[in-house]
Amino acid sequence: MIEPLWPLDLMSVCLAMVVALAIDRWLGEPPVHWHPVVAMGRYLGWFTARLSQLAPMAAWMGGTLAWWMGALLVGALAALAQASLMDLAMAAMAATPGAPWAALLATVAAAALIGVLLKPLLAWRMLRDEVAAVDAALQVSLQAGRTQLSRLVSRDVSALSEAEVREAAIETLAENLNDSVVAPLFWFCLAGLPGAAVYRFANTADAMWGYRDHRRWMGQWAARADDVLSWLPARLTAVVMLCWPLAPRAVWRALPTLALQTPSPNGGWPMGAMALLLGVRLAKPGVYVLNEGGRAPQSHHVQAALLICGALVRRVGVASMGLAAALVLWLACWPAWSTSLMFSWPQGVPACAPWVSALCKGAA
């Protein structure tokens, strides 16, 4: 009887996520010249000046074509890197037939290296530090807070009050918790490294092109693509925020109404959840107001928001680490899995880690 490979798939996913989050926690971002998201930005920036000067239809077609070329390139490079690492793992397994521990260690090593490549596609530590820096700058002066906030948002900050600066910082924290952490991990779980990379490209394109100014037509496809790819992760982010500790029933009932008040179909969900959890008012002047009856945010509200988001990220890391450890022990006690991996392919295996499953199929 052929044993299923889903424990191996799930272990690889969890281990890669643990490695990525650990690197983010202890080392932060890689150098700029090695950062894939910076490279995505350069690619998109090259088209910006050229496409924004075209007629609307030409700009739309050019922006759509540039998006697809970039997404395919990013996805192909990520798939190649992932496949190369798993090829090395499969070669190590083939070189040590009948040695389950060697096969397991090769798979663990490949998953860990994939986690290293996953890290630049998420950015919790940088987000946390930048938001904390806004609150720290406000302790110096209002102008210092505005200047620090301008690093995070595209809106005009010159006339914002102290409360409005904190509102913008909390909004940015909540929305980018999804964009920079939850959504990349969500797509990584579904589609491996290519899924996370394509999502990050789509989110970067929306951040650079998705505005109602001279970039409106060139950025329409990028904005809609980001809306689609972020739809489920944004709602998942809000739900998880409200689950630990479990928010009162009134908060759950109020969230859908708040979420509809923002122009974005997704940003209102994590921002609304944060506003309700903190009991504060969050607004973008002239655009939306969330939890209008809430208090103006103070410094301790920013710190509380950082704690809420930090706790969510830690829980994801701890859960992934515990599950990965349990599965490693299980696989270590199940020597038959390495034989199944090398010489057979079970039908109906869940594709939660396609880099393992697809390559196993090729090796069969």
> Encoding tokens for residue 270?
């994590």
**Region 93-97: what's the mean pLDDT?**
74
Tens of pLDDT along 208-244? 999 888 899 999 999 999 999 999 999 999 999 999 7
> Encoding tokens for residue 228?
């689609």
State the DSSP code for 290.
E
**Region 154-177: what's the mean pLDDT?**
95
- For position 129, what pLDDT does the model report? 97
- For position 329, what pLDDT does the model report? 79
Q: Pick from 201, 205, 211, 258: which is nearest to 235 by CA? A: 258
Can you give the three-state secondary structure of 140-205, one letter per residue? HCHHHHHHHHCCCCCCCCCCCCHHHHHHHHHHHHHHHHHHHHHHHHHHHHHHHHHHHHHHHHHHHH
Do 27 and 15 touch, CB atoms closer than 8 A?
Answer: no
Do 351 and 28 touch, CB atoms closer than 8 A?
Answer: no
- For position 330, what pLDDT does the model report? 75
Helix and strand totals (H; E) in the chain: 14, 2
CA distance 79 to 291: 43
Query: Domain limits of the chain?
Result: 6-363
- For position 214, what pLDDT does the model report? 87
Q: How confident is the model at residue 96 (pLDDT cuts 50, 70, 90)?
A: confident
Tens of pLDDT along 117-146? 999 999 999 999 999 999 999 999 999 999
Query: What pTM was computed for the model?
Result: 0.89
Tens of pLDDT along 256-300? 999 999 999 999 999 999 999 999 999 998 899 999 999 999 999
Do 225 and 205 touch, CB atoms closer than 8 A?
Answer: yes
Whole-number percent of the chain with pLDDT over 90: 74
> Encoding tokens for residue 219?
């950025």
Q: How confident is the model at residue 335 (pLDDT cuts 50, 70, 90)?
A: low
Distances (CA, A) of 195 to 94, 183, 186, 192, 221: 28, 10, 9, 5, 18
The count of residues in the chain is 364
